[in-house]
Structure 1
Amino acid sequence: MNFVSLPALQQPQWPDRDRLDAVARSLEALPPLVLAAECDQLKGRLAAVARGEAFLLQGGDCAETFAGSTADSIRGKFQTLLQMAVVLTYAASVPVVKIGRMAGQFGKPRSAATEVRDGLELPVYRGDAVNGIEFTRADRTPDPGRLLEAYHCASATLNLCRSLASGGFADLRQVHAWNQDFVAGSPAGQRYEQLADDIERAITFMHACGADPREFRAVEFYSSHEALLLDYERPLTRVDSRNGHVYDLSAHLLWIGERTRDPRGAHVEFASRIRNPIAVKVGPNATAQNVLELAEILDPDEEPGRLTVTTRMGARRIREALPALVEKVSASRAPVVWVCDPMHGNTVESASGMKTRNFDDVLDEVAGFFEVHRALGTHPGGIHIEFTGDDVTECVGGGHRIAESDLSYRYETTCDPRLNRSQSLDLAFRVAGLYRHHLSPALPING
């Protein structure tokens, strides 16, 4: 289905258009990865976030890889997301909407089209859905066949996540038990022991009373990725037989990146034609008028849950850049969900030349996000982070105090640095404290 006519940025230069057309036909014939009804259900959950009745937790890999789409890796990310959600659910006393940055995040926007090493210029790595990371001409040449492989890896990931979500793996009592090693093993664990004990007592009390609701044994899980590669998204766009509306059934939620959010560009045009929940990422230079224009295009009916604005300001800019956006958009009555991405605005280069992020900067941006919303009386809707369930050493700081000298120990990302499991849980407990303080300012942030 091709209804995009505007210019599209950040698209690969496919060398074989006939092969691309054949791949598109193959994708069009394959089953959808998600159901339109599930997209509608997520929109309803996000509407609750927009009303201040729920909190959004969105996270996963910076860029998924085909080689990394293993059962252990998928299970580790899913488990980490659930652990974070348990902490946030208890602290906020509201439902936590869980969206994985999974099952489709195989493409990445880049700042340059080519890369030069030792005098050799080759196409830049754009994610496994486009080309390979090895610096060879064969690997770096965009291959449309990779779009099919991305589909199959996404399908396998979703199948496993659905089984984990409904098959007992997500039992709330088990998820809490997973936190025990973090509480015991983290240098910051003592700070969180009281909250963990409170969760344990609440679960024990419910069980003793004979309460065993389905929510204890299963969870709702939704998928998301950046709708970057339009040659992948268009063939997976389908007309729903229930209502005749158009959905991109590659994921439940699609987002538009900072580099492709031009209101007169193809990505915004594409998103305006589909009925999925949509998110847009905005950086520190975005104006309220930019956001209002996007809201008018993407959510003309002012439908709660339709549009999420994900801010990626950086710790040094958020307190000055965010207030005007929130104040003016809120005054317009546009029912957007406000989400904080504290990762992308805090990327720095270490002395060794590795990209990294400092955990304290990530936490400071989240703190600034909450401060702005508390001052304006608006709802801090959620967080969007890049993490892995593995014990990588890509971001410095956190409870285990990873130093720059530790980065080379397990630096495994193909693109941007991710929080490891311990850092992710550390962040969840900190965000829980910020949310409790937001709801009841008399409470200490770590209380």
Structure 2
Amino acid sequence: MKSDKIKPYLFENWHIKSWKDFDLLQQPNYLNSSLLLETLSTLRCANKIVTENEINQLKYFFSEAEKGNIFILQAGDCAETFESCSFEDVKLRVEHILSLAKKLEEAIEKKVIVVGRIAGQYAKPRSEPFETLNHFSLPAFRGDIINGIEFNEIQRQPDPLRLLKAYENSKKTYDWIKEITNHIFFISHEALLLDYESNLTHKTTYSDQWINFSAHTLWLGERTRDLKSAHVEYLRGISNPIGIKLGPNANYHEIISLLKLLNPQNISGKINLITRFGNKNNNLNLENMIHFLNHSGLCFSWSCDPMHGNSYKTNNGFKTRNFDDIISELIETHKIHNKLGSFLSGIHLELTYKNVTECIGGYKNKLNEYNLSENFQSFCDPRLNKQQSLDLIELFSLKRNL
């Protein structure tokens, strides 16, 4: 990408494909370009998964969260799989998250709005483009929307037809959610695969705005939030609420520029900042960031993702997270907000209703690293299991104000 195409902190002339002229990060290399074009053409004509009215309703809830009037619970799988797309599995996922929301609502005496990592969370960013096994390298697994988990050349090759499968599964999943809940259960995923996202984005006749109809809200990842990234360029043109993941290396001035790019009209309910510093880096970094940004005059709400900054590998090779680190970062984040007169308005969690053994520790049924091999099911990041996620809500409810 030529640097002369960009003016500092100012992106002009947005259109639905303008992101292609910016820094492309975390995008697959499709060998069959004609099949990709055919697939994208089909996606452009596909039925909308969510509605503009639903998106506007969630934007209102985020604006209320900014004021501390409500709380957002955003939770679900690290990465959905095509295999898990069944009515019974969706039902169990939804019921578990709703049960957590109910417990949280009773404890904090505040309305809790549920936003699921569901019905579209099929793509995953990766630290390395390749995976090596027995001295043989293949493209890394990037989620079922791109390639397969099996370590062979055919499965690891990005397949455009998976885009259609992901759309079909997302549509079915959200239809099932509405059937299960009898009311709106908001859906979200990371805005990662830009060919998919942009071809499900349309200008509305009602509001004359560009909307991504694949989800109510999307988030911008820690790896893709660079000001010159294609992801930022795409997201600045849509009117959906947008989450921004912020790690310990986030620069205050860069975040101000990002907020102005993604929300130039400074609309309340548009931006949700999701801190993910990790328990070891949380205290001073977060306090400085909250103080600086809260005095910027810009509109946004604060959430905490206590999962992603606390990942590590055990001696026997399992990627895991320690429950104590997760709950400690969450409670400390809440206390820092309170100290500064700020509002922690949400939690962002990776969890499952299943009795998996992916995270160490817990409040009632503690796991150690030797337990991990018993039922480690995640293809990507470790999730809190059913009991651990219940423990987290209980401990947060008990200790947040101590």
TM-score tier, shorter chain, comes to over 0.9
Q: 1:263 aligns with which of 204, 223, 227?
A: 227
Q: 2:89 aligns with which of 70, 73, 91?
A: 73
1:426 aligns with 2:391: yes
How far is 1:433 from its partner?
A: 2.3
| CA distance, structure 2, for counterparts of residue 68 and residue 408 of structure 1 | 21
- Cα deviations by residue, 1:385-433 (Å, 9 ceiling, x for unpaired): 0001111111111120112111111100000000011111111112222
Structure 2 equivalent of residue 240 of structure 1: 204
Structure 1 equivalent of residue 250 of structure 2: 286
Structure 1 equivalent of residue 11 of structure 2: none
8 A contact 1:315–1:345 mirrored in 2 = yes
1:31 aligns with 2:47: yes
Q: 2:78 aligns with which of 32, 56, 62?
A: 62
| CA distance, structure 2, for counterparts of residue 39 and residue 57 of structure 1 | 16
State the one-letter code of the partner of 2:35. R
Q: How many residues align?
A: 385
Structure 1 equivalent of residue 98 of structure 2: 82
Structure 2 equivalent of residue 7 of structure 1: 23
| CA distance, structure 2, for counterparts of residue 159 and residue 433 of structure 1 | 36
| CA distance, structure 1, for counterparts of residue 46 and residue 399 of structure 2 | 44
Structure 2 equivalent of residue 147 of structure 1: 163
Structure 2 equivalent of residue 356 of structure 1: 320
8 A contact 1:80–1:424 mirrored in 2 = no
- SS of 1:148's partner is helix
8 A contact 1:103–1:155 mirrored in 2 = yes
8 A contact 1:239–1:245 mirrored in 2 = yes
State the one-letter code of the partner of 1:76. L
- SS of 1:260's partner is coil
Show structure 2 runs of 5+ residues with no match. Answer: 1-15
8 A contact 1:35–1:249 mirrored in 2 = yes
Structure 2 equivalent of residue 17 of structure 1: 33
Structure 2 equivalent of residue 410 of structure 1: 375
How far is 1:434 from its partner?
A: 4.0
Structure 1 equivalent of residue 358 of structure 2: 394
1:92 aligns with 2:79: no
**Pairing 1:299-318 to 2, within 5 Å after superposition:** 299-318=263-282
Structure 1 equivalent of residue 216 of structure 2: 252
State the one-letter code of the partner of 2:327. L
- Cα deviations by residue, 1:211-237 (Å, 9 ceiling, x for unpaired): xxxxxxxx5410000000001101100
8 A contact 1:46–1:97 mirrored in 2 = no
What TM-score do the two structures reach when normalised by structure 1?
0.85
| CA distance, structure 2, for counterparts of residue 74 and residue 434 of structure 1 | 31
1:156 aligns with 2:172: yes
Q: Which has the higher helix share?
A: 1
How far is 1:290 from its partner?
A: 2.0
How far is 1:70 from its partner?
A: 2.1
8 A contact 1:314–1:344 mirrored in 2 = yes
How far is 1:121 from its partner?
A: 1.4
Q: 1:385 aligns with which of 349, 352, 363?
A: 349
1:320 aligns with 2:284: yes
State the one-letter code of the partner of 2:176. L
Q: Name which one, 1 or 2, has greater alpha-carbon Rg.
A: 1
- Cα deviations by residue, 1:237-278 (Å, 9 ceiling, x for unpaired): 011121111001110001010000011111011110000000
Structure 2 equivalent of residue 333 of structure 1: 297
State the one-letter code of the partner of 1:53. N
Show structure 1 runs of 5+ residues with no match. Answer: 167-218, 438-444
8 A contact 1:133–1:140 mirrored in 2 = yes
Structure 1 equivalent of residue 3 of structure 2: none
Structure 2 equivalent of residue 192 of structure 1: none
Give structure 1 regions of 4+ aligned residues with deviation exceeding 4 angstroms. Answer: none
State the one-letter code of the partner of 2:368. A
8 A contact 1:348–1:356 mirrored in 2 = yes
| CA distance, structure 2, for counterparts of residue 279 and residue 99 of structure 1 | 12
- SS of 1:423's partner is helix
8 A contact 1:73–1:389 mirrored in 2 = no
| CA distance, structure 2, for counterparts of residue 124 and residue 6 of structure 1 | 23
Q: CA RMSD in A?
A: 1.1
Structure 1 equivalent of residue 153 of structure 2: 137
Structure 1 equivalent of residue 56 of structure 2: 40
Q: 1:101 aligns with which of 98, 113, 117?
A: 117
How far is 1:351 from its partner?
A: 2.3
- SS of 1:351's partner is coil
How far is 1:349 from its partner?
A: 1.1
- Cα deviations by residue, 1:96-126 (Å, 9 ceiling, x for unpaired): 1110001111111111111121222111111
- Cα deviations by residue, 1:286-323 (Å, 9 ceiling, x for unpaired): 12112111111011111111001111100111112111
Q: 2:331 aligns with which of 367, 376, 394?
A: 367
- SS of 1:258's partner is coil
| CA distance, structure 2, for counterparts of residue 91 and residue 63 of structure 1 | 29
